[in-house]
Amino acid sequence: MIVARAPGKLVALGEYAVLDGAPALVLALDRYAEATIAASADGVCHLETRAPLPVERRFAPGTASGAGLVDLVAATASPPLAWQATLDSSAFFVGPAKLGLGSSAAVLCAWAGAFAAFARAAGRDLPAPALPALIDLHRAFQGGRGSGLDVAASLTGGAITFSLDSSGLARIGSVRLPNSVGFASIFAGKSASTREFVAHYRAWTQAHPREAAAIHRRLSATAEAGCTAARGNAAGAFIEAIADYGRGLQDLGVAIGADIVTAEHREIGEHARRYGVAYKVSGAGGGDLGLACALDAQALEAFKTSVGNRGFRVIDFGLAEAGLIVEDLSEGQPQ
Q: Which among 188, 56, 38, 172 has a CA at the least distance from the CA of 114?
A: 38
Please report the beta strands in the chain, taking only residues with DSSP state E, as ranges in sequence order. 2-13, 24-39, 45-50, 54-59, 83-88, 93-94, 97-98, 159-164, 170-174, 182-187, 278-281, 289-294, 313-315, 325-328, 333-334
| Distance separating alpha carbons of residues 75 and 64, to the nearest angstrom | 9
Three-class SS of residue 48? strand
- Exposed, middle or buried: residue 179 (CB in 10 Å: 0-12, 13-18, 19+)? exposed
Question: Would you give per-residue pLDDT tens digits along the chain (335 residues)?
Answer: 999 999 999 999 999 999 999 999 999 999 999 999 999 999 999 999 999 999 999 999 999 999 999 999 999 998 999 999 999 999 999 888 899 999 999 999 999 999 999 999 999 999 999 999 999 999 999 888 889 999 999 999 999 999 999 998 999 999 999 989 999 999 988 888 888 899 899 999 999 999 999 999 999 999 999 999 999 999 999 999 999 999 999 999 999 999 999 999 999 999 999 999 999 999 999 989 999 999 999 999 999 999 999 999 999 889 999 999 999 987 655 55
CB 272 within 8 A of CB 314: no
pTM of the predicted structure, to 2 decimals: 0.94
Length of the chain: 335
CB 207 within 8 A of CB 239: no
For residue 325, the Cα-to-chain-centroid distance in whole angstroms is 17
